[in-house]
Amino acid sequence: MSNNYYDYIIVGGGIVGLATAYKLQLKFPDKSIAVLEKEDVIGKHQTGRNSGVMHSGIYYKPGSFKALNCKNGHQQLIAFAKENNIKHDVCGKIIVATNESEIPLLEMIYQRGVENGTQGISYLNEQQIKEREPFINGVKAIHVPTAGIIDFVEVCKKFVEIIHQLNPKSKLITSCEVVKINSSSYEKEVITSLGAFKAKTLIFCGGLQSDRLAVLDKVTLDLQIVGFRGDYFELTDVAKHKIKHLVYPVPDPNFPFLGVHFTRMIDDSIECGPNAVFSFKREGYSRTSFSLKDTWQALTFSGTWKMFFKHWRKGLDEYHRAFSRVAFVKALQKLMPSITVDDVQPARAGVRAQAIENNGDLVDDFKIYKHNGNIHVLNAPSPAATACLAIADEIVLEVLKANTIL
């Protein structure tokens, strides 16, 4: 049999793809798995360019895949980190209402937390907010003690290490971009920049490229991935003392984004952000990044324009912040009035893969699709990193349902 034959091929070496490979290998240690990653390293895009927060699951619609998988995944992730000595900190966070008008939304989030079984949540009054975060101003807040921080790329590296220990025949193959998929109910083949690979089952966890991989597999889609860039600043060394843990605003309920916030990272730096602006390049991390292919695809999709028209005012506000440090700091001053432009310096950026439906609605839940025995993760934005092990369980279950284990 060809050296390029595996029991399973997983396309995408981000945290969801590698968590899936890890869970499959645990379940079936004798089966061979290939993870095909188009970049030269793992976790180069969404996995390595997010805020590193282990989310508690408080925000999400009760009963949704996000709510169920976030809580389950959060518990699994912490257990995995402890077992494998991966640096993490369950430091907790606060969600802060800065004025009376935000209190009803804050209370709605609290009720969701109760329904989702988010452990230990409690309200903080103005004085208690100051005791926890002296530089933050708010009239009421939710304390979420189970939220934490971790380095998701380190988690990915540990997945790869354990997979190799369980089965040396399994491989992570980098610099391997899928360009064609030949797939029927009986034969699965991917043509890549490194040649052809065959498997019994193909699983696609392509993140920013997930819709394109689905199209290669002849899936008929009613959505498209549109990239939203998020820019981060970080507090300077002289200002780092102003934040102790994680501080979030009350989010806009019409968007799946959580607003600009303060995050203490696992290396003790303090990030501020991100914003969320339409990206003219799916994997472009500067304000001027541009891809004709990506832009053309996004702007010839009717759902993109319908989304723009629905949320044009929000979009303009986000773009203003993207090109103005003063405007960005002004948004932060809502939470921390004392912060100044001298307290922050530019940091990194990330691009979030957000699925948008033909009608312009943003898909607000994880979306996994089956086609010809293959599995496509079509929408896995935040909190997918937190939920990766639970999402992997869902995928393994779908593999079992498809009777692909021989």
Dist. CA 387–CA 55, nearest whole Å: 8
Half-sphere exposure of 285 (CA within 13 A, CB side): 14
Strand-strand pairing, 33-36 and 171-173: parallel
Q: What pTM was estimated for this model as a whole?
A: 0.95
265 belongs to a structural domain: no
Q: Judge whether residue 162 has pLDDT over 80.
A: yes
Dist. CA 172–CA 248, nearest whole Å: 37
207 belongs to a structural domain: yes
Dist. CA 62–CA 60, nearest whole Å: 6
Give the pLDDT of residue 405: 45
With beta carbons less than 8 A apart as the criterion, state whether 232 and 262 touch.
no
Q: Judge whether residue 89 has pLDDT over 60.
A: yes
45 belongs to a structural domain: yes
312 belongs to a structural domain: no
pLDDT in tens, 124-153: 999 999 999 999 999 999 999 999 999 999
With beta carbons less than 8 A apart as the criterion, state whether 304 and 226 touch.
yes
Nearest 5°: the CA angle 18, 19, 25 is 90
Instruction: Please give the residue range of the domain that contains residue 32.
Output: 1-87+147-222+364-406
Give the pLDDT of residue 315: 76
Give the pLDDT of residue 322: 77
- The predicted model gives 191-216 an average pLDDT of 97
Give the pLDDT of residue 254: 65
300 belongs to a structural domain: no
Give the pLDDT of residue 1: 41
174 belongs to a structural domain: yes
Phi, psi (deg, nearest 5) at residue 312: -60, -40
User: pLDDT exceeding 70 applies to what percent of the chain?
Assistant: 97
Dist. CA 98–CA 65, nearest whole Å: 30
**What string of DSSP letters covers 8-76?**
EEEE--SHHHHHHHHHHHHH-TTS-EEEE-SSSSSS-STTTSS--EE--S-SSPTTSHHHHHHHHHHHH
pLDDT band at 313 (very low <50, low <70, confident <90, very high): confident
323 belongs to a structural domain: no
pLDDT band at 119 (very low <50, low <70, confident <90, very high): very high
Q: Which residues make beta-bridge pairs with 54? A: 148
With beta carbons less than 8 A apart as the criterion, state whether 93 and 247 touch.
yes
Residue 175: CB atoms within 10 A of its CB come to 13
Residue 309 gets the label, from left (phi > 0), alpha (psi -120 to 50) or beta, of alpha
Count of domains observed in the chain: 1
pLDDT in tens, 18-51: 999 999 999 999 999 999 999 999 999 999 999 8
Phi, psi (deg, nearest 5) at residue 333: -65, -20
340 belongs to a structural domain: no
Q: Judge whether residue 270 has pLDDT over 90.
A: yes
Nearest 5°: the CA angle 269, 272, 274 is 125
**What is the CATH number for 216?**
3.50.50.60
Which residue has tokens 């968007």? 255
Hey, is 150 helix, strand or coil? strand
